[in-house]
Copies of this chain bind each other. A is one copy, B any other.
Amino acid sequence: MNSEFIIAVHSLVLLAHREDGMASSEEIAANVCTHPARVRKVLGCLRKLGYVSTREGSGGGYRLTCNPTEVTLADVYRAMSAGSLMPNWCSGDPEMDCMVGSSMQDVMNSVFCGAEKQLEAYFSNITIGGMLSNIEQGQLDAAGGRAGPIII
């Protein structure tokens, strides 16, 4: 899995958490624990898909332009990490004489395509808004002394 997926999800949750839905790349980077340039790259991608808008110049930054309860992790996954489940490394060789060795790349490919569909189906049930309320709920629990593992 691509770590840009994590940065994208974290950024969206953070923006959804803000009253005005806004933050600069520097603020987001500090919260995510990475470099502002990396945040700008990831959010630039989310902008092209309409999930955030940006304003350059002084006082600018990023603003959430989607409904957090409608955007799912599947959307983010497709945007940032599609195809990342399959390893880059490949076994076998189509030119090989052996039936097994020559077919393995195709077979693995279809296995991982199916796996990716499963993953997307799972992610499509988790929304940015859902993650945020989970966090807020967890925080309340902690305040009440009833903190426990967070379950989605």
Tell me the A residues contacting B by CB distance below 8 Å: 1-3, 5-7, 9-10, 13-14, 17, 31-34, 73, 85-93, 96, 98-101, 103-104, 106-108, 110-112, 114-115, 118-119, 121-123, 126, 131-132, 134-136, 138-139, 149-152
A108, B6: Cβ atoms closer than 8 Å: yes
Number of copies of this chain that the complex holds: 2
CB proximity of A39 to chain B, nearest CB, Å: 10
Q: A87-B3, A118-B119 are in contact. Are A101 and B32 (CB under 8 A)?
A: yes
Cross-interface CB contact of A91 among B6, B100, B132, B139, cutoff 8 Å: B6
Pair A1/B87 contact, Cβ less than 8 Å: yes
Q: What is the CB-to-nearest-CB distance from A77 to chain B, in angstroms, rounded to a whole number?
A: 10
Chain B residues contacting A9 (CB-CB under 8 Å) are 108
**Given A9-B108, A99-B136, 18 other A-B residues pairs in contact with their CB atoms under 8 A:** A3-B87, A6-B90, A6-B91, A7-B91, A10-B100, A10-B104, A10-B108, A14-B98, A31-B92, A31-B96, A31-B100, A103-B150, A107-B131, A110-B149, A110-B152, A114-B152, A118-B122, A119-B119
- Supposing A2-B87, A6-B89, A111-B73 touch, asked if A135 and B31 sit within 8 A by C-beta, the answer is no
Closest 6 CB pairs of A and B: A3-B89, A31-B101, A118-B122, A103-B135, A32-B91, A3-B87
